Amino acid sequence: MTPLSACTGAETTACDDAIKATLKAPSTYKRLKSGERRTETMSRRIDYEAVNSFNAPIRGSGECVFNSGHAYWYEDRT
């Protein structure tokens, strides 16, 4: 994993926005780790935490994929 400073601002913001769009309480979103961008797939791994609708903390992770200027979020299924 790389530090946040190694990620481009526009890609990081696009991924954050894609993840927040799936959360019940997007204002509680906090990125924990952001993986290095993979050039061959135009994607990166992200781990995050937030609170759910019961105000309980949750953690999630998945893959953010870039395509045609948009970020698409694919949550890991456990």
Provide the residue ranges of all domains of the chain, joining segments of one domain with +: 4-75
Asked if the model's pLDDT at residue 5 lies above 60, the reply is: no
- pLDDT value for 62: 96
Mean pLDDT of 14-24: 96
Side by side, which strands form the sheet with 43-51? 30-34, 43-51, 57-67, 70-75
How far, in Å, are 25, 65, 66 from residue 1 at the CA level? 26, 16, 18
What pTM, to 2 d.p., does this model score?
A: 0.79
- Please answer whether residues 34 and 12 qualify as being in contact, where contact means their C-beta atoms are separated by less than 8 angstroms: yes
